[in-house]
Structure 1
Amino acid sequence: MEPMSTCKLFGAIRALIGIKNTIPVIHGPRGCAYHIRYLLSARSGSRIRICSTELSQEDIVFGAENKLKETIITVDRTYKPELIPILTSCSTSIIGEDIQKVARELKDEINADIITISAGGFESDQSGGYEEVLETLIKDITIPNRANGKTKKPSINLIGVFRGGPDLLKLKKTLKNMGILINCVLTSGSNLEDIKNIPLAHLNYSFCDISGIIPCKILEEEFGIPYVYYPFPMGFSNSLNFFKTLIDHFNLNYPLHEEYDKLKPSIDYFRQKLDGYKAAIIAGPTRAIALASFVRELGMTPVLISIDLIGEYTLKELKWAIGDAKPKVLIEPELGEIENFIKKEQPHIILGGLGESYFSYNLKIPVLDVMHGKELTWGFQGALSISQKILNLIRE
């Protein structure tokens, strides 16, 4: 009754807005576009453009394919995007609006590329939207014969990355220094040319246990590109193992352990200061697993791990991450379950996102937003930053 996950349309839009010069058009009532734009803008702090056909009651009763055509043409002429994804909403999925037919009819009339996504919110949760977008991009945009043009220099695709910011910028620089190029990030910061060139990479790395695994399997089957799915580079050891996985895969000579050894005094310092404190983790599966192992690395005790959705490898990796700790693990919980446990256990800090600010305000427990795209959280420097912020919040 109080779900902690959202709908397919939200997931699809979230995946699409990361692509440069792309304007999604939601074929549905105006509220779908407004509320998704509002939430994603609040979470990212960025200007997000999502257009809508703004359907009325009459449109739902009698159909609105002409209104969809007019909206697509207007978006193409007004904003001049490279890509216009057309998405159904709950209402247009129910009445069976044929957005594929509209896309075919307009293909030669507009300058933008056009794809279609069935995104009725009731069709699945957000993971279905993520997956369908990534699979559609691979199917409709990627150019298969480019797989023959691979360079000798190691390159990877990051699959299932939907937020950019300092994390992505720092990761690109770090990997470049190691001799590894990022070929395409699907989808944050990518453009159509990047997506077309996905087959050029030597390795795919899934950054999302929910949305990244199936696309990685498709790319392995279609183009013979192997994939890796763990670890996620959040925390000192996770980052070390992430970089080591890539260095070993490409047989590179890079002094990774020398960099890590320089961090050991800082790790010891934070362990001394944070030992014994309790943390609650509320996140998606990949990030929750990384955070669970990270707080243990800091000497803290994870007392709650709340995961909104689970993927193919989630439970196996979670077992490894928690080790001998015995946290309460909530899978696809309702809000009340989380609230009751936090009230009972009284953790010293909550690691989550914007949505968890409610707990901070009402239960007087500090919340660290580790989801915000404007903050550095990945890699060694991200681990140092998070550690210091945890310490600062607990001391307040």
Structure 2
Amino acid sequence: MSLFNRTTFNFYGLFLCIFLEVAISSCSMVQNIVGPFDVPNSSEPESSGTFVSAKILASNLGIKSSSSRDLQFALQQFNQGRFEIAEFYLKKNLVKSPDDPTAIKLLPWTYFYQKHYDKALTAFRRSKVLHRKNSESSIGMGWCYFGLRNYERAIEQFEYAEKLSGDHYQINKGKGFAQLKMNRKPEAEEYFSKIYNPSQINIILNLWASWHEKDVDALIDILPTSEKSLSLFTLPIESPRYPSLLLGLIRDVDPSTNHAWKAFWKGKFKKALNEFKDISYIFGISPSTILPSKTSSLSFLTLAMNSPDAKNGLAWSHLKNKEIKEASILFKEILQIWPNFIGAIQGINEIENIKRRQTRYADHYLDINKLGIAEKKYEEIQSRYPNWDYPYTQLGKLKLEQKDYLYAREYFLDALDLAPN
């Protein structure tokens, strides 16, 4: 008797049909579990078309959501100064969304800040092709050519940016230093005179001479390093704004920010403070902000990448008006998002110096063992700056001198809570 008689054949056929039906049903169940939509299973032709469309839409939304997360993380890492990580996630985002304007514009700057000027040039060219009226790509290319010692090409790019009505400051600064590298001092001074006063130009020329004292062809750092903070982007005359360090970030196109900074440079600190207060977007984005799922690339860029420029100006204006508490809060908020921004770091250091100067008398009385007077003055400082660990530490030392070990311990623990490191 044959193994595959009619009865056996019918049995296996029935088994196969049941198996396929269960398998298909299981796949549909898995799809419904992992997919973003609960799509009813139907064998009707009109429903099947809807089901296919929904699957495509779900797939597209999944890709966009993933891209948004990658972009969000890349922007965060860029602000934190972790440019290699930002580069990776921007590339990952571009694999999913090849035309994403934010990623295309930002990727070259991740190379630039890693000093990979050749790679940055290639990426800037792509950005320039897709965004022909974006002058910042040409400015970036100009600084890349400068880093590669091709000063003529650098000037060409800065001039191209000028035709696009690009950043007046960066263009003249770039052309000025390129002319200096080609030993064209009069031309360099002409460009510098458009953005610096005579005193600032003299500082630049003296600094330039000291850089080239031992080597006339010395390679000048565009960017600061961990060993050397002085560079073309961190010139002393640009403190505390440091506008070149804002390249790659969204910068304020509203002229009111520049007007406020001009008032600051002129020493009109009260006027500068009022003008910075009037700028509505100075507070930027909070690190804890959660973006809505429908945030577009452009609107997300506006939220997450607005530069610290105006907020830094507001903080320094508060500081110059002796409003230390307000300045301290703003500087710390800046450093939460841009921890390496030198303008805010210098602000924190300046506040620390001011507070330490205010403790000189208390320290003096502690040193000469006038403990009662010292204690009173430290308590005044403690009341003025309740979140500063120094007066707590000093009061702890004072209590040790008085052999009041219990209170000394409490003060030291309070200081440790305020400054664990």
* TM value normalised by structure 1: 0.28
Higher helix share goes to which structure?
Answer: 2
- Structure whose alpha-carbon radius of gyration is higher: 2
Which one has more relative contact order, counting CA pairs under 8 Å at least 6 apart? 1
